[in-house]
Structure 1
Amino acid sequence: MVQGGTPSFDAGVPARVIAGRYRLHTPIGAGGMGEVWQAYDERLDRRVAVKMMLAESPVPPGFQGAAFEETLQTRRARFLREVQITAGIEHLGVPAVYDTGTDEASGRLFVVMQLLQGRELQTFIDETDYESETVPLSWAAAVGAQIASVLDTVHRRDVVHRDVKPSNLMLTPGGVVKVLDFGVAALRGIGTLPRLTQVGMTVGTPPYMSPEQSLANAVGPAADVYALACVLYELLTGRPPFTPDDSRSHMWHHVHTPPPPIRTLRPDVPIDVENLLLAMLTKESEQRMDAMEVYDTLLPFVHAAGIAATTDEHTLDPRLPFLRPFGGRSPNPNATAQYTPTLVVSSPLALPPVSTPQVHESSPAELTEQEADEVADRAAQLAQDGQFTQAADALAEAIGRAADLDLKEGMQFSLAQVKFLAGSHREALTLFEPLARHYADRYGDQDEQAQLCWYYVAQCRMELGEATAAIQAFGHVAKAAPAPDDEDTVNRYLDTLARLMSLHAAAENLSQALEAGDRLRSETSRLRGSNWPGLAQIDVYLRRLRQDLG
């Protein structure tokens, strides 16, 4: 899979739009048959992945006229068929397919897919030092149980994955394991026409190929169970069950070598788990257990005694869905305000990464004041057009590049405004509140920017139904009486007094409501003039409050 951060934004360079709604932004993968882009669905204001088939290649030797056209039509039909298969698999562990069609400009087929956050299981394996640490059994069991659940669902639809391996498994925030590359894998090996991906390669990946795959025989659900055993074996030990030597390949070992008991490498693994893996690695496909049996066997080990799993929804812990099946946010009052760009992978019709030399990533260029202004203007326009996700990503990328504190704070304030306008009041609050405290500490509570941030904090608190906290935040704004000639500040100040009056009244704090109302009456007269029409409405409200107070 291909992972990356928020796309870099080039102001003034329009991105290509597919089907009138999918704005291609950043390429995140490419292979022999297609390319995958991070994109935005401008109709629904969300990030997506778009897979585009590559342009049709020239007529190859041996294909002429109608025969070549028939081959192309069959190839396109197969592309759409694999999308239909993937879209028909409804399971939390299978990335969603949203849309498909033909790009009018190029005539190329495209598929719109879920854009994932997370990390490949292969990355976890590669980064674990198995000589000094081990993956907890409950952690591995949770991974295996989730994959087995997905496989049971697809097998009941007569679909076989055929390439279950760590790099096709993505662990996402909240602990859900996504099984990738279903659409392509489900149709591999069918027919004699060219395959859609990995043309000319053996179906499957050698370290995880079942004996029947290794012999190029017919492959069924049992092959996926075998591959899952290889994945679990590697996750627990750091190596797959079979490794090639000078004279014998992976495939030879899959066919001829008895599976090695895992307890020879990890004596702490329970005998029941060892027996499970040996049963899944049986050479005869008919004798292997099915995916649901694997799930049922692994499930008790997810809740192994003495193993605690975090309940943080942002943690990549596969045990979390079993502990908190419906998710939910764990209270964390000490959480710091931050905006984390999306990590992306090409999913679910995955392609190999773009082939580029391995280089050390250089730090992004430091944000200049001119660039900050351009990004802010572009984000404002995007927000005005209702494209809040694109606006937020543009600002987040700028924040990551900003070395100057004032520029960074300005970008953070703009990002908070975008979140507020988008209705993401909790996210906006986590940005506005630290800024308000920072400006007040640095410049005093009367500072205009501190006042503006406190006003937005109060608005967010109101939208979230937190009346007491909203009153406290509005209290900061009410401390600073503005000059009559500052129209924006006057509007904000008088609105703050009106909100305080209403909030106190709603909480049945009538004396405080009356105090805020009297102040609103006085300050409105001072700032708007004694003949301002709205004073009559304030007077009516104040009379009602006095009557209620008796």
Structure 2
Amino acid sequence: MQAGERIADRYELTYPVGRGGMGQVWAGFDERLDRPVAIKFLRQLDVPEEERETAGKRFRREARATARLDHPGVPAVHDLGVHGEDLYLVMQLVPGIVLADHIAEQERLPVGEAASVAVQVCSVLMAAHAASLVHRDLKPQNIMITPSGVVKVLDFGVAALLGPAEASRLTATGRTLGTPAYIAPEQAQGGPVGPAADLYALGCIFFEMLGGNPPYEAANAPDLMRRHIDSPIPIITEYRSDVPEDLAHLIYCLLAKDPAERPGSAGEVRQLVAPFLDGDSPVPAAARTDHRSASASPLIAPFSVPPQQSQQNVGQLRAQARELAENERFVQAAEVLERALRLVPHGRGELLSTEVMALRVDLASLLMLAGDFRQARHAFQSLASDLAQSDGKQDLAEECRQQAIACQFELGESIDATGAVSIR
């Protein structure tokens, strides 16, 4: 796979975002519907020949399992197909930060933030379990936090149907599916796996969010799985004293060896965790790196390159954006112009230069054409404010103000008696 490659004469690959033992994930663009997507590939040649049929079935099962879950905490599935020798799955591209990375950066999360993540994961598990699906591989690497603070649960690749289908689950002979640091004792022993296994994994994740490390650690996978089965349950307050006793008791119950001794459902866990939400924003700072914020100059991010190279790249990107816009690929064209803006000097004087203003006006217009009226409004408002301070550009400032008002109308929000846009 390489950037620029086209899949099904519709999806253009832009950059790789992850790779596993038997596949890889690319960010891409849906040219037909003008939207960014994630494209997950199962590379058949990377799969042992004797496992290819099983791996292919599991990959298709992931697509169907995820598509069944109509929930804001699960990425939407758009398409499934074959590209050469490889299977591919097209999904919603989720921005933000992986929970595993956030824990690594922060070491220990505030109790309220950890509770927010847990409550949202519980909501996803409630939907999954109601649809007779068990995730079976819940872990911080499979949880994303978006810039708006929404938690997304990824990778239902080993999800198994409950009931009779469990007896014929799609596993390679002798292989236990799941990740050792978060695997339930019954799953580690190869026994029947139900919703309680997901709750155990959630307990491990909750423990790690608060304590900085999973509840059990070992030098190798077999020893780690034995610790889940035989070792005493750790108590989070012995690692962190500010965890409320009721919450510590809940985590202890989630880590019970016997599935019957864990809470009865994800809904029950959500109800028990809810009192520990602190009302503050649960959005980690690292997940807020959305350059389309409503700040003074929302679309400029620092980027240092030699002036000659900068000029050349900006010109190439503007030409690329123009071509994309002519083909009505407005979202993709806007993303290209955002990259161009990162390449120009971003001091106060440069922000008012003719070249930069032209880029910013074009970008605001593209956002409007793409139907992203909220971001277009912010961009036009920022332009109007900056242009009002520049001699000879009052007409353009007024035009930007009017475009901001037009966006406000499209959003169905109010405008005050002076004609100014009222932000909500």
Bucket of the pairwise TM-score, normalised by the shorter protein: 0.7 to 0.9
1:287 has 2:261 as partner: yes
Assess, with a 3 A threshold, how the Cα gap between structure 1 residues 468 and 372 changes in structure 2: closer, same or farther.
same
**In structure 2, distance between residues paired with 1:208 and 1:57:** 26
**In structure 1, distance between residues paired with 2:8 and 2:406:** 39
Match of 1:321 in 2: none
1:420 has 2:368 as partner: yes
Match of 2:12 in 1: 23
**In structure 2, distance between residues paired with 1:246 and 1:102:** 36
More strand as a share of residues: 2
1:140 has 2:119 as partner: no
Q: 1:451 aligns with which of 375, 390, 395?
A: 395
**In structure 2, distance between residues paired with 1:469 and 1:201:** 68
**In structure 2, distance between residues paired with 1:17 and 1:395:** 22
**In structure 2, distance between residues paired with 1:123 and 1:14:** 25
Gaps in structure 2 of 5+ consecutive residues: 286-292
**In structure 2, distance between residues paired with 1:37 and 1:392:** 20
Q: 1:85 aligns with which of 57, 65, 72?
A: 65
Q: 1:269 aligns with which of 225, 230, 243?
A: 243
Length-normalised TM-score, structure 2: 0.81
Assess, with a 3 A threshold, how the Cα gap between structure 1 residues 208 and 468 changes in structure 2: closer, same or farther.
closer
1:394 has 2:336 as partner: yes
Which fold has the larger relative contact order, with Cα–Cα distance below 8 Å and residues 6 or more apart in sequence? Answer: 1
User: Cα offset for 1:395?
Assistant: 0.8
User: Cα offset for 1:166?
Assistant: 1.3
Match of 1:243 in 2: 217
Match of 1:460 in 2: 404
Assess, with a 3 A threshold, how the Cα gap between structure 1 residues 26 and 186 changes in structure 2: closer, same or farther.
farther
**In structure 1, distance between residues paired with 2:420 and 2:205:** 54
Match of 1:336 in 2: 296
User: Higher Cα Rg: structure 1 or 2?
Assistant: 1
User: Cα offset for 1:370?
Assistant: 3.3
User: Letter of the aligned partner of 1:289 in structure 2?
Assistant: P
**In structure 2, distance between residues paired with 1:440 and 1:247:** 63
Aligned residues: 395
**In structure 1, distance between residues paired with 2:279 and 2:377:** 31
84-93 or 404-413, larger mean C-alpha shift: 404-413
Identity %: 37
**In structure 1, distance between residues paired with 2:152 and 2:235:** 28
**In structure 2, distance between residues paired with 1:293 and 1:98:** 32
User: Letter of the aligned partner of 1:122 in structure 2?
Assistant: A
Match of 2:184 in 1: 210
Gaps in structure 1 of 5+ consecutive residues: 1-12, 64-70, 195-199, 318-331, 342-361, 474-550
RMSD: 3.4
1:301 has 2:281 as partner: no
Q: Is contact 2:374-2:407 (8 Å) kept?
A: no
Q: Is contact 2:14-2:29 (8 Å) kept?
A: yes
SS of corresponding position for 1:24: strand
Alignment of 1:341-380 (within 5 A): 367-380=309-322
User: Letter of the aligned partner of 1:102 in structure 2?
Assistant: V
Assess, with a 3 A threshold, how the Cα gap between structure 1 residues 469 and 340 changes in structure 2: closer, same or farther.
farther
SS of corresponding position for 1:435: helix
Match of 2:289 in 1: none
Q: Is contact 1:372-1:411 (8 Å) kept?
A: no
Length-normalised TM-score, structure 1: 0.64
Assess, with a 3 A threshold, how the Cα gap between structure 1 residues 164 and 462 changes in structure 2: closer, same or farther.
closer
Match of 2:88 in 1: 110
